Amino acid sequence: MTKRPAIMAVLLLGACAGEAPPAPPPVTVSVAAPLQRDVVDWDDYVGRFEAIQDVQVTPRVSGVITRIGFREGVEVQKGAFLFEIDPRPFRAALDQAQAEVERAEASVANARAERARAAQLLEAEAISREEYDQKLAAERTGAAGLAAARATARSRALDLEFTTVRAPIRGRISDRRVALGDFVTAGQTLLTRIVSTDPIWFTFDGAESFYLKYVRQDRTGERPSSRYAPNPVEIQLADEPDYRWRGRMVFVDNAIDPGSGTIRAHAEVANPDGFLVPGMFGRARLLGSGTYRAMLIPDEAIVTDQTRRIVYVVGKDGKTVPRAVETGPMVEGLRVVRAGLAPTDRVVLDGLARLQPGVPVRTKLAEIRPRARNDAPVATPITTPPPAEATTR
């Protein structure tokens, strides 16, 4: 009697061992429709600020510096007094030239009177035609001499005017390169330098690939060429967290440098307070496309499969479907998807490590929201180095 229950137990255990284990429950994932936005691409460049006008101030006459009338390193207006070259020799030369003008005027007046008397005598047949022609030639020679004397006087007056050196442009002046008592040579001695600061250029070099993209966009009407249109430029300085300076494109060079494969361009930037100075480094972003409709999803919803980027979506049958997508830049903290998604797709946002294509899942509806303000990704600012020394007070 005791063997029968034991046999029944063995038979039951054998039957249970032949059954398949139960399937694991479906994975629960969060899904959401892509966030739709009208997007404009920006291309990044590195460049420096450059003065539109950069003037090397040199004297137009030679002489000794007798006066200096500006403060170094400040803004000067056009026409402001800078230097004085000893004017006494030039004033004396002008006086001499004016005296020659007066002498020539007297000679012309005398020659004109003699020619008038000769005309009366010729009419009375008291002199020959040859004598009259001599008087007429003397008058004309005197008139030419007067014109030459007046031209010399104007030249001497200009020399005297040039002894006062004035600012040829409005801008920020450098230090003085000469001292009182120095002898300067016309057109050779550098007195100082003036650079304009408002507006100012931001100059950069662009790769040939960018140039080709812009040309093709212009031909299709997607984006006008910066050679003809003032496309916007935004600039970030080395210690700034965002792009706060605004400019517009004004120049694209006419050839690509064969050595570097780049083309030179610059934008014009307003600088009313003179904060930006020539030579300053900056990072710029230039309008890189026209406006297009794009889908935005979190970066963590994208899986990299060798050279492809894949997003999982949940089909109507509740199973996962991989989609190859073409991605773009970051906008509002989300990744732009240029192609591969539809506005009605349910994109899987989490649990990607446990997913396989064609696996049924349980979905939990979520919403994709912007994670950052509407700006491009910011670069890490360059921090100011610590001081080498310090003193107490």
Tens digit of each residue's pLDDT (9 = 90 or more) over 156-214: 999 999 999 999 999 999 999 999 999 999 999 999 999 999 999 999 999 999 999 89
Tell the residue number behind the tokens 């450059």, with chain if given.
50
pLDDT value, residue 4: 58
pLDDT value, residue 128: 84
The C-alpha atoms of residue 92 and residue 179 are separated, in whole angstroms, by 25
Q: How confident is the model at residue 287 (pLDDT cuts 50, 70, 90)?
A: confident
Structure tokens at 276: 């930006």
pLDDT value, residue 118: 84
The C-alpha atoms of residue 225 and residue 274 are separated, in whole angstroms, by 29
Tell which residue, 368, 379, 298, has the closest CA to residue 336. 298
pLDDT value, residue 9: 53
Q: Which amino acid is at 252?
A: V
Q: Is the pLDDT confidence value at 378 over 80? A: no
Summarised one tens digit per residue, pLDDT across range 215-225 is: 998 998 888 89
The C-alpha atoms of residue 164 and residue 157 are separated, in whole angstroms, by 12
Summarised one tens digit per residue, pLDDT across range 74-108 is: 999 999 999 999 999 999 999 999 999 999 999 98
Share of the chain above pLDDT 70, in %: 89
Check residue 290 and report its DSSP letter.
-
pLDDT value, residue 385: 53
Check residue 318 and report its DSSP letter.
S
Cα–Cα distances (Å) from 391 to 384, 385, 386, in that order, read: 19, 17, 14
pTM above 0.85, yes or no: no
The C-alpha atoms of residue 83 and residue 162 are separated, in whole angstroms, by 10
The answer to whether the beta carbons of residues 229 and 249 sit under 8 Å apart is yes
- Over residues 318-342, the mean pLDDT reads 86
The answer to whether the beta carbons of residues 338 and 327 sit under 8 Å apart is yes
Summarised one tens digit per residue, pLDDT across range 232-260 is: 999 999 888 888 999 999 999 999 999 99
What are 56's strand-pairing partners?
Answer: 193
Q: Is the pLDDT confidence value at 377 over 70? A: no
pLDDT value, residue 20: 59
pLDDT value, residue 362: 86
- Over residues 308-313, the mean pLDDT reads 88
Mean pLDDT, all residues of the chain: 86
More confident of the two residues 19 and 64:
64
The C-alpha atoms of residue 359 and residue 361 are separated, in whole angstroms, by 6
Cα–Cα distances (Å) from 349 to 333, 336, 358, in that order, read: 15, 15, 17
Q: Is the pLDDT confidence value at 19 over 70? A: no
Tell which residue, 221, 352, 229, has the closest CA to residue 290. 221
Q: Which residues contact 176 (CB under 8 A, 6 or more apart)?
A: 68, 70, 72, 83, 191, 192
pLDDT value, residue 252: 94
Structure tokens at 286: 């230039």
Q: Which residues contact 62 (CB under 8 A, 6 or more apart)?
A: 85, 183, 184, 185, 186
Structure tokens at 285: 């972003």
Q: Is the pLDDT confidence value at 303 over 80? A: yes
Summarised one tens digit per residue, pLDDT across range 350-373 is: 887 787 888 888 888 888 888 776
User: Chain centroid to CA 114: how far?
Assistant: 71
- Count helices and strands in the chain by DSSP H and E runs: 4, 24
Q: In whole angstroms, how large is the CA radius of gyration of the chain?
A: 43
Most confident segment among 102-116, 146-160, 306-320: 146-160
Q: Is the pLDDT confidence value at 379 over 50? A: no
CB hemisphere CA count around 162 (13 angstroms): 20
The C-alpha atoms of residue 339 and residue 84 are separated, in whole angstroms, by 70
Summarised one tens digit per residue, pLDDT across range 32-86 is: 889 888 888 888 899 999 999 999 999 999 999 999 999 999 999 999 999 999 9
SS3 for 158? helix
pLDDT value, residue 189: 95
Summarised one tens digit per residue, pLDDT across range 124-159 is: 878 888 888 888 898 899 899 999 999 999 999 999
pLDDT value, residue 317: 87
SS3 for 56? strand
Tell the residue number behind the tokens 């972003």, with chain if given.
285
For the chain, the distance separating the N- and C-terminal CA atoms, rounded to the nearest angstrom, is 107
More confident of the two residues 5 and 371:
371
